[in-house]
Chains A and B, each alone.
Chain A
């Protein structure tokens, strides 16, 4: 950080280039969504937005039920986020600050499960959801498996180990607090910043999840990502409409990012240091 101030224009030029490359595909989807198919199929390609955005949005919402898809994605992501944040904070607190038998062994189990690829469980999970619980096609088939997260437990544990002083808990004990009261009155207030970061990361990941929702849900009751894949899957040949779908699915995330991107930034760098 204390590097001598650099006034090299080369650094700025390169950084600007990197940011432009990062932004361009999203800008491009906006250009495509604001034009019609004929304008996209032109050489040379048009690089400025047109006036067709509202029309495309209307088609996307009326002809293809984006409303249901958005509603499903929003419901699933919200419930999963609340559940992951609460259960991770509870378990993270126990692993960080409570003494109990098997604590270290169980923590290693949590870390090990982070390494197992999700892909490995897709087939049995589908069998369970379809044949046993009869939840295939319902949003509960997405919510239940995602309701807790090993990453979340580890993330909260790492945060609380340093952020929560044992003295604070001891003092609470002297005042006669039960463990649940300690959690409520002392752990939650201290954990709040990390909970916010975990919540945002969870919401983003759930919103963007694709493989399992594609298997578990169906085009009649899709999430945004499943609806999008159906858009692109051939039965729509209108590319401006497909790009409109991509834009619709990304916009809510852009709003989250604009509002709380800094915390996500901090979360990634903190998580990395401790990982």
Chain B
């Protein structure tokens, strides 16, 4: 893919035909994908407010970005985004590994179990968040009722920082664990059985086999899921927005305790009409995603180095 092989595979075509085939994609992508990116960069350099006609032409340089650095709500949203992002990613991927391992046993009704774990993934963020918000209800929610059986007092999940993060991460984890488990499963099935046999001959327990045969061989797939999940979970929007039970859901809780960067962007852009500032937050989020993906990849390389000893 990176380097053209000596004999380019494929058939000869007219000079224009191949370009005509890829044109529809690139035209739509250019107008609605690439151009908006460039345009966000431009908008972020203006003091554009939708409620102030003419402000779209006021170039303010990097003022919006300078303002961001002193905006406590931005830093708060950044903290929430990273915190909820980690809570929604790490346990989920570990769980997915476990579920994949279970699905890899030769069991009857394999298709049933696989379809079962995939089901949450076809539901919508909006529907699922609404259902879970009811389950997390303070007075009549099922989760508090179950916890009450163990003597836990009713928790107001929206009120606290930790409790709201856990609740939102639970919603994300419920929707995506099965999907990632199936991706792991596909790779697990490509692992030759002989590797397990020889590990067993060396006296490795099942648990040891899992960590020293399965996990190392799944590394490329695990990295892939880490990247995809990190990108997705840093952009959480529907879950925190609809989980809020207040009249102003874009605040992300009474103390902004679960306002993510995506929600904050929406709040500034949609509720406060600040197009320029909202665009600057968008770019900041993009930067955060790039940094976190890099960090996650570096970290998972390190971990592997340790476990190889």
| A interface list, Cβ under 8 A from B | 1-6, 8, 11-12, 14-15, 18-19, 21-23, 25-26, 28-29, 32, 40-45, 87-88, 90-91, 93-100, 103-104, 106-108, 110, 113, 115-128, 144-145, 147-148, 150, 153, 161, 166, 169-170, 173, 178-180, 182-183, 204, 207-208, 210-211, 215, 224-225, 228-229, 231-234, 239, 242-243, 245-247, 249-250, 253-254, 256-257, 261-262, 264-265, 268-270, 272-273, 275
Is B97 in the interface zone, CB < 8 Å from A?
Answer: no
* Given A19-B113, A261-B115, A11 contacting B131 (CB threshold 8 A): no
Q: A42-B140, A117-B289 are in contact. List 4 more A-B contacts (CB 8 A).
A: A124-B37, A148-B29, A210-B124, A232-B133
| B interface list, Cβ under 8 A from A | 1-4, 8-14, 17-19, 21-22, 24-26, 28-29, 32-37, 39-40, 43, 99, 102-107, 111-120, 122-135, 139-140, 142, 145, 174, 178-179, 182-183, 185-187, 189-190, 193, 196, 221, 224, 231, 235, 237-238, 241-242, 247, 249, 262, 265-266, 269-270, 275, 278-279, 282-283, 285-286, 289
**What are 9 A-B residue pairs whose CB atoms fall within 8 Å in the complex?**
A43-B140, A45-B142, A87-B24, A116-B286, A123-B275, A123-B278, A123-B282, A208-B124, A210-B124
**CB-based contact B118/A261 at 8 Å:** yes
**CB-based contact A28/B135 at 8 Å:** yes
A121 to B285, CA, bound (A): 12
Nearest-neighbour CB distance to chain B for A105, whole angstroms, equals 10
**CB-based contact B22/A211 at 8 Å:** no
Nearest-neighbour CB distance to chain B for A124, whole angstroms, equals 4
Neighbouring B residues of A178 by C-beta, 8 Å: 17
Q: A272: which of B9, B33, B183, B237 is its contact (CB, 8 Å)?
A: B183
Closest to A16 in B: B113
Neighbouring A residues of B128 by C-beta, 8 Å: 25, 246
**CB-based contact B127/A166 at 8 Å:** no
**CB-based contact B131/A3 at 8 Å:** no
A118 to B29, CA, bound (A): 12
How many A-B pairs have beta carbons closer than 8 Å: the answer is: 310
Neighbouring A residues of B107 by C-beta, 8 Å: 6, 11-12, 15
Neighbouring A residues of B139 by C-beta, 8 Å: 41, 43
Closest to A12 in B: B107
Q: B103: which of A15, A40, A94, A207 is its contact (CB, 8 Å)?
A: A15
Nearest-neighbour CB distance to chain A for B53, whole angstroms, equals 12
Neighbouring A residues of B9 by C-beta, 8 Å: 97, 161, 166
**CB-based contact B130/A228 at 8 Å:** yes
A94 to B33, CA, bound (A): 21
Neighbouring B residues of A26 by C-beta, 8 Å: 119, 123, 131
**CB-based contact A228/B127 at 8 Å:** yes
**CB-based contact A269/B185 at 8 Å:** yes
Of B105, B132, B241, B265, most A-chain CB atoms within 10 Å: B105
**CB-based contact A148/B25 at 8 Å:** yes
**CB-based contact A273/B39 at 8 Å:** no
Neighbouring A residues of B34 by C-beta, 8 Å: 113
A125 to B282, CA, bound (A): 13
Nearest-neighbour CB distance to chain A for B121, whole angstroms, equals 9
Neighbouring B residues of A123 by C-beta, 8 Å: 40, 43, 265, 269, 275, 278-279, 282
A116 to B119, CA, bound (A): 27
Closest to B181 in A: A18
* Given A87-B24, A113-B29, A144-B32, A97 contacting B10 (CB threshold 8 A): yes
A269 to B117, CA, bound (A): 14
Neighbouring A residues of B103 by C-beta, 8 Å: 15
**CB-based contact A273/B18 at 8 Å:** no
**CB-based contact B11/A170 at 8 Å:** yes
